[in-house]
Structure 1
């Protein structure tokens, strides 16, 4: 059976539509690690900013389990994160420890690059970091990559 011009146009249209559909889903595909990543988080009971940080991660398709504990510092020590990098809460995703209000995109980068490290930390509670949004107030802060020797290097800076 001979292929007609209409058949070729239909095939081209279907291929174009399939390509457009793939492009439309590209942003969600770039967060594939988030869809696969389960993050377990420990925070003090009733901490609103910790809940907001968890929602931020869920927006990037992380599966978040939030656990309320009386002593976050003890959990941090158990996970191996030095106290000098302490943030508001501590979490574990895969083999990494996440301390404080670390942006989801930085966690996704960590999971993609797989550096040899304890994990990431945002010490203290800087205004403007995920979960710490306070209107227009934004403090400059750094996401630190914490090494096994307790040293840290800047993973990402936020103005």
Structure 2
């Protein structure tokens, strides 16, 4: 094999390895709690499954109780709550932030994105401004990352 061929194969292997490492940071399973009438939550679950996560959807529970149980700060809620890998993920958090959570494993109860911002996973339309992802513990929120 010539030098160019070897370089291309090495580059491709490194690129595939980096992609696998980012996805490998996500847990294998997640539970998504949602209202049964919400279509965007189901779309978020499908996009998470496309990243190799098996998602169990529970739509027959009072979602507000789940939010209280995980310690979500008042006023920071969204339409669904996910529990995976020991963390809670509130709402349509972009997958870059979810991957960062599992790569860094900070001492927090979870991360979230309040509301249902257009352009986030599961929400149609183009992105409109920055997304302020927060982390939370015991009902208190602080910044996690901006995308």
Q: Fold conserved (TM > 0.5)?
A: yes
Match of 1:146 in 2: 136
1:8-157 equivalences in 2 (<5 Å):
19-20=10-11, 22-26=13-17, 27-34=19-26, 36-134=27-125, 136=126, 138-148=128-138, 150-157=139-146
Runs of 4+ in 1 over 4 A off after TM superposition: 12-18
Give the whole-Å Cα distance in 2 for the aligned partners of 1:110 and 1:137: 21
Q: Does the CA-based 8 Å contact 1:102-1:122 persist in structure 2?
A: yes
- Offset at residue 141 of structure 1 (A): 2.8
3-state SS of 1:98 partner: strand
Q: Which has the larger radius of gyration?
A: 1
- Offset at residue 20 of structure 1 (A): 4.9
Deviations 1:41-76 (A, max 9, x none): 100003111011112222322222111124210121
Normalised by the length of structure 2, the TM-score is 0.83
1:24 and 1:126, CA in 2 relative to 1: closer, same or farther beyond 3 A? closer
Q: Does the CA-based 8 Å contact 1:38-1:62 persist in structure 2?
A: yes
Normalised by the length of structure 1, the TM-score is 0.77
Structure in which a larger fraction of residues adopt helix: 1
**Structure 1 residues 116-125 or 57-66, which shifts more?**
57-66
- Offset at residue 80 of structure 1 (A): 2.6
3-state SS of 1:45 partner: coil
- Offset at residue 16 of structure 1 (A): 6.2
Deviations 1:121-150 (A, max 9, x none): 11111112211123x3625431101133x3
Gaps of 5+ in 2: none
1:56 and 1:13, CA in 2 relative to 1: closer, same or farther beyond 3 A? same
Instruction: Flag the structure with more relative contact order, 1 or 2, with Cα contacts below 8 A and sequence separation at least 6.
Output: 2
Gaps of 5+ in 1: 1-8
